[in-house]
Each structure stands twice: as C-alpha cells, then as structure tokens.
Amino acid sequence: MFNSRELFSDFVETEKLLISTSDPKSNLFATGRGTVVIEIENETVLLSNFLYVPHLSRNLISLLEMFSKSITIVKQNKDFSILDENRPILHRRIINNLMISNFTEFTSLLTTSSTKKTCWHSRLGHPSNKTLKSMGLPNFEKDHCDVCIRGKITLKPFKSHFEEVKEPLDCLHLDLVGPIAPPSISGHRFFLTIVDRFTPFRVVRFLKNKLDAIKEFAIVKNLIETAQGRKIKKVVSDRGGEFVNDEFKQLANESGFTHVTSPPYTPQLNGFAERTKRKILEETRCLLLGNAPRIKCIRTFGNKVVFVIPRGKRPWKLSPTGELRILLGFDYESPAYRILKLKDNKVLSTSDVEKFQSNEDTFFECQENPTDEAPSDSNDESTSQINDSSVESSSDDQDTKGPTTKINVIGTHHPTLISSDI
C-alpha cells in the first residue's frame, strides 16, 4: 500500500476498500490500484497490483507479496537483504521488529489522464471542467491548479455574525472619517461616528485633528453613561492609529469595556459604523447639490438672517435694531443658531435671530454700509444714513457717511443641514 499518487505509473480508480486498523475510529480506505515504480540502491523496482491509500502514514510492502514474486529475503542477525534472482538489491537493518527501507520516488514517464488534463487545461487558458467537457474532451478527474487559485481567487460572501445585544450600551461601534477637504469654517476636517448597536443611537462629533478622537469619545462616553445609568461593555472599531494605541487601551482598562478591532480591509466587521458614515456622507452630498431639507424646525444653510443687535452696541438711538448675517447651522451645546458676521468672518452662537429671509439665488450679496436715509434736523448740514440690512454695527462704524460698498460672499449658496459645530 502506498500513500502517494505520484508513485503510480499505471493507476485505475476502484470502489472504496476498507483498510482495518487497530483503532476502529482510524480505519482507512483505498481508492485505487496500480503499478508502482520505485528506486532502491540505484535499482529500479516495478511493483504491480498495489493499493493507493491517501491517508496512510507510511508506505507498506507485504512480505507475502514479495515471496510470490522472484524476490528472496535473507535475514542475518539484525540485518536483512532482498535478493532478486540471487542479485542483491537492498540491505537494511531491522528496527523494533520492522524491516525499514528508504526509497527514492521514481517519476513515471508515461502520460496519464491527469497529465493530459493539466496539459489541455493550460493550453486552453485554464477553463473550467464544464468548458473542457463542452469542447468534446473526455471527463478528467478534478485536479489542483495553483495558477487558477492565484488568478481567480475572490472574497467569500460576508455573512452577518454580530451577536445579539439585549440592552443599550452593550456594544458601541466607532469610526473616524476624514480628512475632508475643504475644512469647515471652524477648521474641522474629521468627524467621529458613535453608534449603539441596540437602539441604534448615533452621535457625530466634528474634529480638527484625528488625535482628538479619544478625547471626544471619552466625553460622549461619560454623557451617555450618566444618561442611561449603565456602563459601556464593548467597543468595536477598525485598527486605525486613533483607536489602537496606549491611550485608548488605558481608557478601556479604566472604564472596564472590551475593545474589539476588525482586521484590515474588512469594513464588513464594523458594518454599523460604516453604514452610518455612508448615510451621513450621502445626505451631506445631496444637500450640497441643492436638495433643501423639508424639516420645519431647520433652516437652509446660507440664508440671510437678521440678528438683533444688543442695546449697548447700538451707535445711536434711531440706528437699526438688527443687522444682516448668514446662517451656518445650529449649536449642539445650546439651543442657538450659528451665524456668520461677514465683515470679519467671525462666527457667533445666538438665539436672537428674529427674521429669516428666503434666498434661492446662486450667489448672494449684502451691503456693508447703510443706504436708507434716516430722519434728521433741517439745520444739520450732514445727513446720516441707515440701512436695515447693515452688516456691521460696532462702535468703529458710527461714521456712516461715504460711498456705499458691496461685499460679495464668495461661494455658492448650498442648502444643507448642520446639526452641530462645523
């Protein structure tokens, strides 16, 4: 019995033949029979009618089979010799009552069906067995082709493996997106998404630097743990440097949650965070293309708004009580709007916004200096001018005389939703 298919020069497949062993659970099966060619002591030996047993640990040659041939075995103390017609072909020692011999595999020069199949398979460009059969070639046994494996291998379909969670904060999924160009007016280029698998509750935090991800996550962690009255048990993220470091490991040890990371190039294993990232980017992209939100409590990004000037900052009694500014979004730390002051490009968070002006133009303009005339005494030689759409009303601009200057806001009017700091 031999365990190597390559040793057979003439091979015929047969029905499975049971080979009993000392352990019934380790029985073997022979799947074929044929002629074996081996080389012993530089002598080529042809052994016919031998079984092919794939899972056999060692090749075995029956002494009875040897005696039935013209082979003679001579034993001398702890040595034995094999003679073929009185010509010695092997001399070895007996170890543990076993006659052990090493032989060299002899490669057959005969063309077998496996060789034919490999040849045609290569000639025709490595087609499938079905294609070979459709071309009229005979059925060949399925062989192992390294070229096909390296050239045709693909990823296996991903099957969901996420274990079921029973309570909020049992598992959170994190992902960091960025850098995004251009940065926001506040200099943010990244955003961190935090998704609870059970609810799923989502939190988005804008970051100027990816190294701030741990700090922002720690803040959100304290907020939601206090609100829910329970601790985070598991956190899932990719293997980005913002999550796989000593600082995050220390946070996990101190907080008592388990940190699980997904392998490289396998975003499916962090699908909750990846899907949230995709949803945010898709909605942002659509909003930037002009689809205004249909939510009553949310205003369109870039609209003109009238900001109520505090009394202490009004230059004179009859000066305008409001000035024109541009809506940027909403402050997530307080119930306020975030508006842009055009003159110095400063952002202000305030709830003192009284009027929204609809503006659907591609570009919008506003005037820096007032154009409407205010009532004055007939004895005054100079006339003061007031503009209810004045942009700047600080003490530095009390002198309202002079030519009117227009400021063009560079940029397209893009309606979008801003749910937090940008």
Give yes or no for residue 358 having a pLDDT over 50.
Answer: yes
Residue 133 banded pLDDT, cuts 50, 70, 90? confident
What does the pLDDT read at residue 13?
A: 80
> Does residue 47 or residue 33 have the better pLDDT?
33
What does the pLDDT read at residue 44?
A: 65
Give yes or no for residue 338 having a pLDDT over 80.
Answer: yes
Chain mean position to CA 76: 69
Percent of the chain past pLDDT 90, that is, above it, reads 0
Give yes or no for residue 67 having a pLDDT over 60.
Answer: no
Tell me the per-residue pLDDT of 180-230, one tens digit each, with 9 for 90 and over: 777 777 788 888 888 887 887 788 888 888 788 888 888 888 888 888 888
By DSSP bridging, strand 98-99 and strand 104-105 are unpaired
What does the pLDDT read at residue 372?
A: 40
Q: What is the DSSP secondary structure assignment for residue 396, as one 8-state letter?
A: G
Among the residue ranges 161-175, 314-328, 378-392, the one predicted with the least confidence is 378-392
Q: Where are the alpha helices (DSSP H) in 153-256?
A: 213-228, 246-255
Distance CA 102, CA 109 (A): 22
Distance CA 2, CA 30 (A): 9
Average pLDDT in the chain: 67
Distance CA 191, CA 204 (A): 7
Residue 15 banded pLDDT, cuts 50, 70, 90? confident
Task: Identify the sign of the CA torsion 249, 255, 258, 264.
Answer: negative
Calculate mean pLDDT across residues 95-101. 60
Residues 6+ apart with CB under 8 A from 153: none
Helix (H, G, I), strand (E, B) or coil at 251: helix
Give yes or no for residue 52 having a pLDDT over 80.
Answer: yes
Render the burial of 201-235: b for 16+ CB within 10 Å, e for the rest: eebbbbbeebebbbebbeebbeebeeeeeeebebb
What does the pLDDT read at residue 412?
A: 37
Tell me the per-residue pLDDT of 148-162, one tens digit each, with 9 for 90 and over: 777 777 766 666 666
Residue 109 banded pLDDT, cuts 50, 70, 90? very low
Q: Around 379, how many Cα atoms within 13 Å sit in the side-chain half-sphere? A: 0
Residue 99 banded pLDDT, cuts 50, 70, 90? low
What does the pLDDT read at residue 409?
A: 38
What does the pLDDT read at residue 43?
A: 61
Phi, psi at 108, each rounded to 5°: -75, 140
Evaluate whether 208 touches 190 at the Cβ level (below 8 Å): yes
Helix (H, G, I), strand (E, B) or coil at 19: strand
> Does residue 78 or residue 394 have the better pLDDT?
78
Distance CA 400, CA 248 (A): 56
> Does residue 266 or residue 397 have the better pLDDT?
266
Token pair recorded at residue 14: 């047969």
What does the pLDDT read at residue 195?
A: 82
What does the pLDDT read at residue 160?
A: 60
Distances (CA, A) of 3 to 49, 60, 62, 280: 14, 9, 15, 60
Calculate mean pLDDT across residues 9-29. 75
Calculate mean pLDDT across residues 20-27. 69
What does the pLDDT read at residue 112?
A: 46
Token pair recorded at residue 142: 């399925």
Residue 402 banded pLDDT, cuts 50, 70, 90? very low
Give yes or no for residue 405 having a pLDDT over 60.
Answer: no
- Classify burial at 118, counting beta carbons within 10 Å of its beta carbon; exposed 0-12, middle 13-18, buried 19 or more: middle
Domains defined along the chain, listed by start: 5-105 (no CATH), 113-152 (no CATH), 172-288 (3.30.420.10), 304-375+383-408 (no CATH)
Phi, psi at 150, each rounded to 5°: -70, -35
> Does residue 407 or residue 304 have the better pLDDT?
304
